Structure 1
Amino acid sequence: MKRLLQVLVIIFPLAVICQPNTEVYLFDLNTTGNQINITNGKNISNNEGYDNQPSFQYENTILFASTRNGQTDVVSYATNNGSKKWLTDTKQGSEYSPTSIPTTKDFSAIRLDTTGLQHLYRYRSGKSKVLLKDLKVGYHVWNSRNMLVSFVLGEPHNLIVSDLKSNLNIQVDTTIGRSLHNIPNTNLVSYIKKNKNEWEIRSLNTRSLETKKIANTVPNIEDMCWLADGSILMGKGKALYHFNPKKDTEWKIIKLFDKENFDNITRITVNKQNNKLVLVAEPETTLKPKLENIRWIAGNWKGEAFGGITEENWSEPSGGSMMATFKLIVDGKVNFYEIETISEVNNSLLLRLKHFNNELKGWETKDETVDFPLIKITKNKAIFEGMTFESIDKNNMIVYVAINQKNGATAIVPFSYTKK
């Protein structure tokens, strides 16, 4: 048994060993106009253990891998009525990464057998068949009914294009990530290239085998999906980022899941109609609303935002509060100051602040403050209405601030800080 566990760790790092407790969440998606709205979220797996790797089989049917009885099987979920149906029950192994096969009712999945063997299978009416006998496929996407692009396990991991008609497998790239997707309104496939200093989203032409850079990823993030307009979504922590290669120069946060009870977003996908979004995340554990649980905010923090240099100094908790001063310097001059406090109020926490110009003249009236009631505290986050503090490590922190725009929209601006 010990030898088997060693084999599984070596050949299949995404499998059952040390799997996180993840859940699959479904949202309504609206991309009308220039706004992307994500609402009505719900947990559709609601299952202790590993629930992951969702994909749409049809517009209203989601496939994902889910743990039951000590193994991982494929389950389908109907978005119109919430019904579930188990599609596999493989006693000699577990299935992962279920993916619909174009122009068929079949799907494919990675099977990890109890013997340690790992293959890509095709499933039809309860029966299965090995597709690529000589490749240890970890993730895959169908570019057409007979054209397959795969992440193949190796040192490093390789990008392989397989023509099932001619039984031809061609290595195109190496050192890649797990995220493989068809690019809407093209015949191209996207993949993640993990260079040493930056990760890239690249396109692949499966016929000419030509690859091109599209954009850099959100730093150190590899899970993504495409929207119908050719723009991209990526998730990190509780934030959802958006980028349009046709017009954007940097990633923008379009949604912060501050009220949802999950964190550490990974897989993400949408249906072809672009009205449903599915993501995978880890359920979060909340802490008591005490200053002691956010002591890590204390310190002298410096960073960059709004085209300038920012500095924020937070005191240790004392007297039932923490206090901070903030200033923004642009072109060598102070743009504005803030005084902030976080206080224990009515068995919760309340963040208050006041703004001042560079001559210390207040923006708010004498007794007016801008208030941010606490939503919750987790292991590495203090989440207030409109402002979230995230601890990256003991010397790095990100503060996400929701700022109202002139057009009525809300922009979420991240302030990346380093403790000095």
Structure 2
Amino acid sequence: MFGGTNKLYSLFIIVFFFLSISYGYAQESTDLFLIQAKKSLFGFKIYPETVKKITKGNNYDNQPTFINKSQFVFTSQAESGYTDIIMYNLVNGKFTNMTRTSDISEYSPDITSCGQYISAVTVEKDSTQRLWLYPINLGEPELLYDDIKPVGYYGWHGETAALFQLGTPNRLVYPYSREDIFEVAQNPGRCIKSRPGTDEIVYLDKNTNIISDGKEVFELKGYNVNSRQSEKIGTALGNAEDFCWLDKNNLIMARDNSIYLKNISKGTDWEEIAFINMPGYQNISRIALSPDNKNLVIAMEPAN
């Protein structure tokens, strides 16, 4: 009896530890904030004075992604410890549960190219992590890439998702077909984004870190899905992980309470374009930009 209990307890600890390093239970408390922005012929401007707190929970509200110019989806942790995908409407300020599950968790929501599904990494009942599709009309979810697991993160390029596959080491793979799953890189960063107007998937290469001004800096790599080649397209912001595209050539990243912009084509350095002063909060992590470039959503953690 006691031997069986100990084995069960050990299994629980192993599963809990695995989840803590990939998703879920070890996530720190964060909230989401909406900021107005504008892109013009004179550049891109963020208006810090417009910052507005969106979420009000004490848990993990993070991983925002716009699905159109007036709605974004994000991951929200319930008191149970499990997470759901929530949609927020900028026009009426309403929240809608895209998932409502009591025994599984969903993370990293995004919109598919057809616009009919919200995709998410789902931690299933047996702790398997795979990519699932959740219909916008709240129909039954569908499993995608059933043979690729465990998935930690992903990024869409058209109808195909490049997948961050957890392991030793972690790998970035691109599934051309069930029989042709191409390894793009080892030790990629968690942020994987399609570069607008190109055939490239962009990621951080964590094999290439250098220290500059006391900050860890990684190369940005672009993987061409046609040639199957990766090449350096620039360097990421030091001590930063997540990025989003303003357009084909301009990237946005954040560190501490500041937001930075870099033009990849010109090879310029990172330029600070906004400082977000939100009392009681610090450290911008995830960042998302609306398709019309008029709204920015950031995730921040409570200050100690």
Normalised by the length of structure 2, the TM-score is 0.87
Aligned length: 283
- In structure 2, how many angstroms separate the alpha carbons of the residues matched to 1:139 and 1:8? 19
Write the mapping of 1:239-258 to structure 2, written as runs, cut at 5 A: 239-258=258-277
One-letter amino acid matched to 1:14: S
State the match for 1:322 in structure 2.
none
One-letter amino acid matched to 2:29: N
State the match for 1:3 in structure 2.
11
Deviation at 1:174, TM superposition (A): 0.6
Query: Does 1:157 pair with 2:170?
Result: yes
Deviation at 1:35, TM superposition (A): 4.6
- In structure 1, how many angstroms separate the alpha carbons of the residues matched to 2:130 and 2:95? 26
- In structure 2, how many angstroms separate the alpha carbons of the residues matched to 1:261 and 1:187? 41
Query: Does 1:16 pair with 2:24?
Result: yes
Partner of residue 46 from structure 2, selected from 37, 40, 49 = 37
- In structure 2, how many angstroms separate the alpha carbons of the residues matched to 1:7 and 1:235? 32
State the match for 1:338 in structure 2.
none
Write the mapping of 1:15-414 to structure 2, written as runs, cut at 5 A: 15-32=23-40, 33-39=42-48, 40-70=50-80, 71-124=82-135, 125-134=138-147, 135-145=149-159, 147-163=160-176, 168-194=180-206, 195-197=208-210, 198-228=217-247, 230-285=249-304
The answer to which structure, 1 or 2, has the higher relative contact order (CA under 8 A, 6+ apart) is 2
- In structure 1, how many angstroms separate the alpha carbons of the residues matched to 2:24 and 2:38? 35
- In structure 2, how many angstroms separate the alpha carbons of the residues matched to 1:234 and 1:226? 9
One-letter amino acid matched to 1:127: E
CA contact (8 A) 2:253 2:287 kept: yes
Select between 189-198 and 49-58 the one with higher mean Cα deviation. 189-198
Select between 71-80 and 30-39 the one with higher mean Cα deviation. 30-39
DSSP 3-state at the match of 1:160: strand
Consecutive unaligned residues in structure 2, runs of 5 or more: 1-8, 211-216
CA contact (8 A) 2:195 2:248 kept: no
- Residues 77/50 of structure 1: CA separation in 2 closer, same or farther (3 Å cut): same
Deviation at 1:37, TM superposition (A): 2.3
Report the aligned-residue RMSD: 1.8
CA contact (8 A) 2:118 2:134 kept: yes
- In structure 1, how many angstroms separate the alpha carbons of the residues matched to 2:150 and 2:273? 37
Deviation at 1:284, TM superposition (A): 2.2
Deviation at 1:167, TM superposition (A): 5.6
Paired-residue identity, %: 27
- Residues 128/231 of structure 1: CA separation in 2 closer, same or farther (3 Å cut): same
Listed one character per residue, the Cα deviations across residues 204-233 of structure 1 (whole Å, up to 9, x for unaligned) are: 112221111111111232111110252111
- In structure 2, how many angstroms separate the alpha carbons of the residues matched to 1:9 and 1:137? 16
DSSP 3-state at the match of 1:10: helix
- Residues 113/8 of structure 1: CA separation in 2 closer, same or farther (3 Å cut): farther
- In structure 2, how many angstroms separate the alpha carbons of the residues matched to 1:47 and 1:284? 15
The structure number with the bigger radius of gyration is: 1
- In structure 1, how many angstroms separate the alpha carbons of the residues matched to 2:231 and 2:165? 20
DSSP 3-state at the match of 1:266: strand
Consecutive unaligned residues in structure 1, runs of 5 or more: 286-420
DSSP 3-state at the match of 1:25: strand
One-letter amino acid matched to 1:59: K
Deviation at 1:105, TM superposition (A): 1.5
- In structure 2, how many angstroms separate the alpha carbons of the residues matched to 1:248 and 1:154? 33
- In structure 2, how many angstroms separate the alpha carbons of the residues matched to 1:35 and 1:104? 27
Listed one character per residue, the Cα deviations across residues 351-405 of structure 1 (whole Å, up to 9, x for unaligned) are: xxxxxxxxxxxxxxxxxxxxxxxxxxxxxxxxxxxxxxxxxxxxxxxxxxxxxxx
- In structure 2, how many angstroms separate the alpha carbons of the residues matched to 1:110 and 1:209? 25
